[in-house]
Structure 1
Amino acid sequence: MHRSTFLKLISGASLGAFTLRGQWIFANPLPFVGAPSGLRPYLHLPRPDSIWVSWWSDADSQTFIDFGASPDALNTTVTGSVDVLGSNYHYHSAKLTNLTPNTYYYYRVRTENATSATFRFRSAPALGSTTSPFRALIIGDNQIVEKESTNDPYHRYEKLMERAVTKIRALHQNKPIEEIIDVVVMPGDQVDYGNNNQWRHLHFYCSRLISPNVPIMTSVGNHETYGDSGLNRYRRLFRYEEVDYNGIPGPDGDSYYSHQMANFVFVHTNSELGNSATQTQWIQSITNAAKSDSSVDWLISICHRPYQAEQYLGDISSWMRNTAMPILNQTDKHFLNIGAHHHIYHRGQVKDAPNYHIISGGSAWDQYWGQSGREADYDDVQKSINNWTWQLLVADPATQKAEVTCYAEAHCLLPANNRWIYNSKEVDRFHRIRGKAAPNTPSLTNSDTSPLSLPYTLNSSPYSTSTDELLNSVQYQVSTVPNFSSTNIDTVVDFENFYGDTGAPDYLPVDIHAGKDITQYELGASALPNGTYYARTRHRDRNATWSAWSLPYTFTITGSNAANPSLQIASPVLAPNTDILVQYEQGPGNAKDWIGLYKKGQIPGGPASTAWSYVSGPAGNLTLNTAGKLDVGAEYFLGFFENDAYSELSPRVPFYHGNRTNLSQSKDKYDQGEDVTINFSNADVAGNQLKLYRAGMTPGLDTPIAAYTLTSAQGSWPITALDKGYYFAVVQANSGNIKISDRLAFQLGERIATLTLPKTTYHHSEDILATFLNGPANPKDWLGVYRQGEEPGTGELLNYVYVDGRPAGDVTVVEDLPIGAYYLSLFTNDSYTEVSNRVSFNVEPQVFKLDSFTIQGTQASLLWATQAGVNYTLQKSADLKTWQDLSSYLGDGSQATLQHSLSHSDTRCFFRVVVKTP
């Protein structure tokens, strides 16, 4: 589904209660004013004693800043430098030093040819200061560069910034913005493409309403790297390499850094580095220092790719989710994780830490419900709202409360002239007060002692607390073991859960938990097999604090048809001389049910098992002692057997006993026709095979392109005569399908994918069906349409559609293109890297005929059925050779009439209606 079409009405939209802290009221949009003209500088890197000031010029070579304590006493002049990034891209910057903390200064910037107005800023508060509230504007990502439409000609980000500034000032008696906000935090994708044009004319230009008065701090997103893969331009624009927290610098300079203001530490990470050991150690060092630092009360992390997302599933930072967040949450000072990348607002809570995570929302490329193909309602996300939003963070030392309020401004699917109608509507508010008492411990009030049948409802006691906090969430766990070391059910239910919307025409968010009593949880008819279970619950308040767990409630289920016994192990590869931990579930619960380990090919009941153990109840964990009992380089399987016999209760679990093979190569991109060499090491010499597949193929299901049997612990596999394509190699055990190495991906050639269209000419409003083959099969590969002569990343992207991670397929790409000449190309993984040929095509008007031509008196009238968006022109000629334009009409799909008043000179004339290409 592409960005201009929304056909899915999300489940739950029939609930009828579409409220977010009050009814949605559609008011007339606030007018857009824009920033005053003239040279407007940009502040960044605020410190208690210094700040950087930057601006652009076309060709000026001098850099001066005059500043002082009043607008009439700009007595200090600082001479800065100019960095020539290109023709018409002179970047001026200078550092103001010896400032007094939390003090207002006036300044102007000038070159030999231009002088700005006089501006005012407030220097950063002293480190650890708690003398006044601290406020930050969170806004991003904002990288869209094209204008929205002819009816709404302003940059989205520029308008979003103006809305934010207007609202914040209105909340504070219209004080100057520098008296309210300490810093602006932007979580990546400040530009769509990291070139000079977009940095100057998108990010700096559209920030100009606030940038002369309040410093802006940015993080790296994926779009910063497009056209600037080494972030060389980014490093030249910003001075983040100068800053650190507690003497712990970011090892990669501007790429990631930490920054203390007052009693806050902001940790700006770089999610584009993936699972970086160096960045991980830096996160640990920051956390260790903050734990015992009395000058720090709050820790905020920023990571462009988010912690979680309910649209475009899996397009998150697994490093942030699985590695960085557990480290940061070693201290309860870590209050908030800010993400972006998905162009929606989202807020959730980390399950086992008093911590929130958000996706800021921003105003970038359209994203909406039904667009991504795969969507899911996750326990750790409480709200997903498809609006362009921004957030205000306020920390009040008087109440020791940090609070974030989210405001919505627009929805991408509303008509352009009615899009910005929310006028800073509050759509979310959440807070954290460290040290506040937790809710009281609840209990499960169920008292049934006889066997139960499903469905069955677990009832929690009412929420209670010694504080003023309200109930936010209830967690339920059900297990077959009283210590809950393994669980059959583990779910969190929030008092509100915004997921999906009402669809056209209003696209209002839907609370699918509206009217839900979250202190009750129903075990469905097939939720659990027969057996004895333990259940417990706990309550979480709106301060993100959990109560203690309730005492377990024990119950027995009978008559269930849900039995599905299963075995699980942590990995299909068991390292040599280690025991194996087995998790079993939904067994029948016989006294002598057991788990046995056999070598591949053996038949249980014939040779004795290599290792075995009785289980304890229907579910649990056990450890099989296998050290010294298994052959290295051999395959085995685990079986779940019933009551001291050989009747198998569940599918077998195969595994490999041995070493994981390491794969490497000197590069991951090869020229077409070039030989490829794959190196391997740490291999078991046991007939394992190194196999080659095309991207999108599934090992074990698809036949490999080629295979190489390993005969030594280390070596290399030379591959010749490969066709161009995207490939990956993986080691599989013996002749089986167990993968015992990570995938090693590479490409051979450029523009590998093949893209075709069934024809080259389309009528206006006709859908275009494209076919692609041999794509790289990344999650966010996409097809994009550009005008002929324009280049991706710099030219206007007219329409696009993701291909859902497929290597090949058919996609309906676009509809409603204006008349003109275009090309279509396939791009990889949300970047502007083209991986296919370009396919050119034209959009022409449909053939139309006049319905009538009449003359009444001196009035000539032509009537016909128009097509929406087509520009028609009435022309007149006296000789059928030279035609004169008379009037124009933009079609809207209805009947149209063009008229012309005849004069005495029109003794012999001809009329026609033509379509003109813009």
Structure 2
Amino acid sequence: MTLHLLPRRLRTLLATLAYACAAQAAVAADITPYLQTPTANSIWVTWKTAEGDESVVEYGVDGGPLDRTASGATQTLAASYRLHGVQLTGLQPETLYSYRVRTGSQLSPVFRFRTQPTAARKSGHFRILVTGDHQLRNDDRHTPLLQAAKAKIQALTGQPLEEAVHLMLNNGDQVDVGTLDHYEFVHMKPSAVVSGNLAIMTALGNHETYYDPGLANWRAHNFYDGISYKGLAAAADESYYAHQVGRVLLVYLNSESNFAAQAEWLRKVVAAANVDPDVDWVISVVHRPYQAEQYVGDISQWFRDTAMPILAGTRKHALNIGAHHHLYARGQTRDWPVYHIISGGTAWDQFWGQSTERDMDDVQKTIANWTWQLIDFDLDARTMKVSSYAEGHPKLGFAYSSRLVDEFERRLDAAGPDKPELTGSADGAVVTLPHGFTLSPFRSPSGMALNSTQFQISRDAAFTGTVVDLIRDVENVYGDTGAPDYEPVDIHAGVDIETYTVQPYGLNNGSYYIRARHRDANAEWSPWSDARSFKVEGSADGDPALRLAKKVWAPGEPVVIEYMNGRGKAKDWVAVYRKGQTPGSASPSVKWSYVSGISGQLAFSGLAAGVEYYVAFMTDDSYVEIAPRMPFYVGDMPELTISKTQFNAGERPTFSWSGAPAGAKDWIGVYRVGQTPGGIGSTVWAYTPTESGTVTLGALNKGYYYAAFFINDAYFEISDRVPFAVGSEIASVSLVKSALASGERLDIRFSDGPGTAKDYIGVFRKGATPGIDLLVAYYYVDGRAGGSLSPADALPDGEYFLALYINDSYTEVSNRVDFTVGAGSEPQPDPRVFGLAGNLIRTGDALTVNWSGMPGNATDWIGVYRSTQTPGSSSPSVQWRYAGGAAGTAAFSGLAAGEYYVAFLLNDGYEEAAPRLPFTVRRRGDINGDGRIDVADRDAQRAALGSCEGDARYQPLADFDADRCISQADYRLWYALFTKQ
């Protein structure tokens, strides 16, 4: 029998054996090619050797001789680390090729690969293998996971992997740190199970950025610089790119940096894909996910808030693939027909009970398994099916043998569900609670199954302020059974998601509107039902709540708990539990008491010191909680101090503490202002296992920070926060447009601000001196450290600058931004000047007003008004006096605390000659302006200690002795006010 009469696969096998035998002496078994960046006509072949500079690929059409060669380049990344790269071009689409790589006498075995289809193919199947984080250096779990995936796919399809699947993608953290050692042993070596036959494309994870400044090793190993879609090239650092394979556009994003430039690039990619007749599907890949139910908050907020809305601009976007969490999760976005998954691979163990966890309505399943996914596009039917297979569990090891744990699909052309109707009460009905609302039966013209319902209840018919917004899925996998099996649990088993029952006291008395809709298993929503109005009677007039005067209580001190808006039942009760307890008969409370009435106070004594607790509010002798829990701690409150409050960038802060509990896992953590501990990791930290001590933490970049003392390796703060700053001109301010048309509004962005209560964006004329020249406009940022502002009123034509100023002062804490409005011409200066020496004073201080360039009429006058008043005979001023001339100065004293303005009025009338001057009078000692003199003011006083006028921390209201510096003398004067109230 001649060779050409043998079956194709047998010919291939014999040819491969022949090549292997002929070169047996030269084969280097440890050389495994790594395929990447495939197209219909090309592919990159890369491999690593310890020596040798020759980079050659010998290849040919599968089943024939390796009669073609291609050469490439070698990167010497270290003395024994040579990375070879050869691009094969001129290939035929969807064609199998055999090849081997050669460096000098080192020769790899023969491998096979298949080129990608062209966009012209609209039939058959296109498949992608997905894996996530593997990351572990000395515990290779990725190899067995890929071996299992390869075996399962070949069993499912009856084909070798390279014929069954077109591409493999990895969603980041393919290394633990971005060193050569990790690229070789954490990514390339485990990937060798498939990398010689199947091209692998990756997204940038956070771990690739560690120990790899400028992503040098990332760029060396990934040949993405030549990738583009519709002329939109990959990022200069190759951290994001769009790669089309067949009729699928894969958009790989960077969840770590380059957000502004990346968003603009993404808008262009999505706009092009939306009108591209050769793209049916858009799949996005990003490392930090859209949403997560474990380690809550550890997601990419940029991707969630910015990138996903951009991607939703095309209905072709069907799936987002994330990672970062080492498990599997799947959900649907709230408003768009887009699935999102976490493919978390086999990295560091992650399981239930390990972290902050929350059931999210846009996540349908979270399963703490080691998984991989197969995405199967049926091009004829225009459907995508995603199957997720589990191989193991962090508590059980590799125990599952490719168990199917989830499967879902997206059909591009299927119609959505029919519009439902609401039943349960007539429009305008008066209801008492409990009361149920039910949707008419689910109907789908495309035959899809029911997946979700959404009920909304609002105070207004436009549903602008919803009080209930509830999405429920037919299946909600959250948590597991624990030892010994750790099986996933469906917490919606037996739940009728088409009925929503408002429980007793679930709504307060009043009028409402309700509407609802269905979502099918294709992620498509039905239209909303017609809204119905109803009125609740016989319920409460406010939401149940608990309140504690403080979070830390001294040993032996009674803990006073205030409860409000209870259910009014005789056996409503309040209980104290230790942290970690779950209310129930098997976990009795530490202290408890029935309440007396709807609102009141309870005091609990005898609580053990050095313990974290929480208080819960429950109804009718049950364990049904009707208010958010309130955590607290019983024990001494440690004192935390810092060596100084202003540091240079790169300087290391030193902290001292005393009076601490001395727990082995107590710690000091430093956060940027605006960050919430637990929702994000600390910038620097250290354990503090002794009653007192000193620690110097790592160097910090410029920014506003605070430090706090935490206990038990968790995020409960038992000290006052200690604020400090690093660097100068810390905050950043920018404008979306710096040349505005006449009447156009400002669009301001700011970040890294100090986050104090009355920080503001101040606008001045070009050339003005803040604090001396007129403040044209100011916009408070509401205590935020970053965000955006778009003031409602436009500025007059002219040339200006703006900057961020701290806490009602003229101390500039950001860069300046110059801008123009209209032609930018400078108006002629108004000769009239009307100003205040300061717009924030204390009770007992005098307000100084100055003016010049006024008309000088004998009966021109100055009036002080409350901010809510309008000058007129029916609204007399609080104080007033005649001006007595065209220029002058006047003082007003004896003003009560409150918000005011000063007006300059003409001729004993109410015509105003100048813009009003707003100012605030605060109660003496009330530094933060909340109307009380309490520990919050003490904190503000302490935070300003050591500062003088001109410093960022200087607080005028804390300067009681008027020496323009804040010292212990000022603190003693404040304390005297505190103790006398």
Give the TM interval when normalised to the shorter protein: 0.5 to 0.7
My pick for the range that moved more, 88-97 or 290-299, is 88-97
Matching residue's letter, 2:282: L
**Alignment deviations for residues 323-381 of structure 1 (CA, whole Å, 9 cap, x no partner):** 00001001110000000000010000001000000001211100000101x11001000
Residue 707 of structure 2 corresponds to 694
Is residue 230 of structure 2 the alignment partner of residue 225 of structure 1?
Answer: no
Match of 1:109 in 2: 101
SS at match of 1:378: coil
CA distance in structure 2 between the aligned counterparts of 1:409 and 1:259, rounded to whole angstroms: 29
Taking the TM superposition and a 5 Å limit, the aligned residue runs for 1:424-503 are 424-448=402-426, 450-503=429-482
- Choose which of 381, 398, 406 in structure 2 pairs with 1:399: 381
DSSP 3-state at the match of 1:208: helix
Q: CA deviation at 1:537?
A: 0.8
CA contact (8 A) 2:274 2:316 kept: yes
Matches within 5 A, 1:758-907: none
Corresponding residue number in structure 2 for 1:235: 219
Superposed CA offset, 1:59-106 (max 9, x none): 122111111114542111111222111132111111101111111111
Aligned twin of 1:57: 49
Which range moved further: 356-365 or 442-451?
A: 442-451
The answer to whether the 8 Å contact 1:699/1:737 transfers is no
The equivalent residue for 2:296 is: 313
Distance 2:435 2:784 in 1: 43
Q: Is the 8 A contact 1:361 1:389 kept in 2?
A: yes
- Separation of aligned partners in 1, 2:723 and 2:51: 56
Q: Which amino acid aligns with 2:200?
A: I
Asked if structure 1 preserves the Cα contact closer than 8 Å seen for 2:29 and 2:109, the reply is no
| Pairwise CA distance, 1:562 | 5.0
- Work out the CA distance in 2 between the residues paired with 1:547 and 1:96: 49
Partner residue of 1:518? 497
Q: What is the one-letter code of the residue matched to 2:197?
A: N
CA distance in structure 2 between the aligned counterparts of 1:667 and 1:296, rounded to whole angstroms? 52
In the alignment, what sits opposite 1:161? 146
- State the SS of the aligned residue for 1:369: coil
Contact map agreement 1:692 1:728 (CA 8 A) in 2: no
Asked if residue 332 in structure 1 is aligned to residue 315 in structure 2, the reply is yes
What residue identity is the alignment partner of 1:451?
V
Match of 1:541 among 512, 515, 520: 520
Does the 8 Å CA contact 2:708/2:721 hold for their aligned counterparts? no
SS in 2 for 1:272: coil
- CA change 1:699–1:375 in 2 (3 A) is closer
Classify 1:520/1:729 alpha carbon distance in 2 versus 1 (closer, same or farther; 3 Å): same
Which of 258, 279, 284 aligns to 2:242? It is 258
In structure 2, the CA distance between the partners of 1:92 and 1:501, relative to structure 1 (3 Å rule), is same
Matched, 1:733 2:761: no
Aligned-partner residue type, residue 436 of structure 1? A
CA distance in 2, matches of 1:231, 1:691: 28
Q: CA deviation at 1:159?
A: 0.5
CA contact (8 A) 1:140 1:188 kept: yes
| 1:408 is the counterpart of 2:408 | no
The amino acid that maps onto 1:53 is V
State how far apart, in whole Å, the 2-side matches of 1:667 and 1:300 are: 45
Structure-2 residue corresponding to 1:370? 353
1:189 aligns with 2:181: no
Aligned partners of 2:784, 2:247: CA distance in 1, in Å? 48
| Residue 238 (structure 1) shift | 1.1
> Does residue 278 of structure 2 align to residue 283 of structure 1?
no
Shift of 1:470: 0.3
Q: For residues 383 and 444 of structure 1, what CA distance do their matches in structure 2 show?
A: 28
What's the offset of the Cα at 1:740? Answer: 5.2
The amino acid of 2:65's aligned partner reads A
Cα distance in 1 between the residues matched to 2:55 and 2:372 = 34
Contact 2:383-2:411 within 8 A present in 1 as well:
yes
Counterpart of 1:343 in structure 2 is 326
Question: In the alignment, does 2:427 pair up with 1:383?
Answer: no
CA displacement, residues 534-565 of structure 1 (integer Å, 9 cap, x when unaligned): 11110000011111111112211101115249
| Match in the other structure for 2:747 | none
| Alpha-carbon distance in 2 for matches of 1:482, 1:342 | 40
1:151 matched to which residue of 2?
none
The higher radius of gyration belongs to: 2
Q: Displacement, 1:128?
A: 4.8
2:257 to 273, 280, 303: 273
Give the TM-score normalised by structure 2: 0.55
* Residues 716-737 of structure 1, C-alpha deviations (whole Å, 9 max, x = no match): xxxxxxxxxxx99444328999
SS of aligned partner of 2:371: strand
Alpha-carbon distance in 2 for matches of 1:536, 1:382: 22
Measured at CA, do residues 667 and 308 of structure 1 come closer, stay the same or move farther in structure 2, by a change above 3 Å?
farther
1:82 is aligned to 2:82 = no
Q: What's the % identity of the aligned pairs? A: 43
Quick one: distance in 2 between partners of 1:367 and 1:741?
Answer: 32
Residue type of the alignment partner of 2:405: V
Q: Give, in angstroms, the shift of residue 423 of structure 1.
A: 0.9
Which whole-Å CA distance do the structure 2 matches of 1:249 and 1:369 have between them? 41
Amino acid in the other structure paired with 1:437: A
Within a 5 Å distance, the mapping from 1:71-220 to structure 2 comes to 71-147=63-139, 155-173=140-158, 175-220=159-204
- Cα pair 1:190 1:224 within 8 Å, conserved: yes
CA distance in 1, matches of 2:544, 2:484: 48
Find the counterpart in structure 2 of residue 669 from structure 1. Answer: 650
User: Is this contact kept in 2: 1:138–1:185, CA < 8 A?
Assistant: yes
**Residue in 1 aligned with 2:771?**
none
Task: Give the alignment's TM-score, normalised by structure 1.
Answer: 0.59
Change (3 A) 1:691 1:224: closer
Q: What residue in structure 2 maps to residue 299 of structure 1?
A: 282
Partner residue of 2:869?
Answer: none
User: What pairs with 1:607-622 in structure 2 (closer than 5 Å)?
Assistant: none
Q: 1:46 to 1:244 in 2, by over 3 A?
A: same
Q: For 2:103 and 2:759, how far apart are their aligned partners in 1?
A: 72
SS at match of 2:451: strand
**Contact kept in structure 1, 2:755 and 2:785, CA below 8 Å:** yes
Three-state SS of the structure 2 residue aligned to 1:554 is strand
* Counterpart-to-counterpart distance in 2, 1:734 and 1:291: 43
Which consecutive residues of structure 2, in runs of 5 or more, have no partner in the other structure? Answer: 1-27, 546-564, 566-645, 655-702, 711-715, 734-751, 761-779, 788-803, 805-981
Residues 691 and 704 in structure 1, CA contact (< 8 A), matched pair in contact too: no
Q: Secondary structure at the match of 1:451?
A: strand
The code of the aligned residue for 1:460 comes to L
Letter in 1 for 2:373: Q
Letter in 2 for 1:529: N
Q: Secondary structure at the match of 2:214?
A: coil
Alpha-carbon contact 2:708-2:720 (below 8 Å) kept: no
Alignment equivalent of 1:46, drawn from 38, 45, 54:
38
Aligned to 2:657: none
Cα 1:699/1:692, change in 2 over 3 Å: farther
Counterparts of 1:335 and 1:55, CA distance in 2: 34
Deviation at 1:450, TM superposition (A): 4.5
Instruction: Output the aligned Cα RMSD.
Output: 3.2
Matches of 2:759 and 2:341, distance apart in 1: 46
Rounded to whole Å, the distance in 1 between the matches of 2:341 and 2:249 is 17
Kindly provide the amino acid, as one letter, of the partner of residue 403 in structure 1.
Answer: K
Larger relative contact order, structure 1 or 2 (CA cutoff 8 Å, min sep 6): 1
- The CA distance in 1 between the partners of 2:541 and 2:340, in whole Å, is 36
Q: 1:701 to 1:491 in 2, by over 3 A?
A: farther
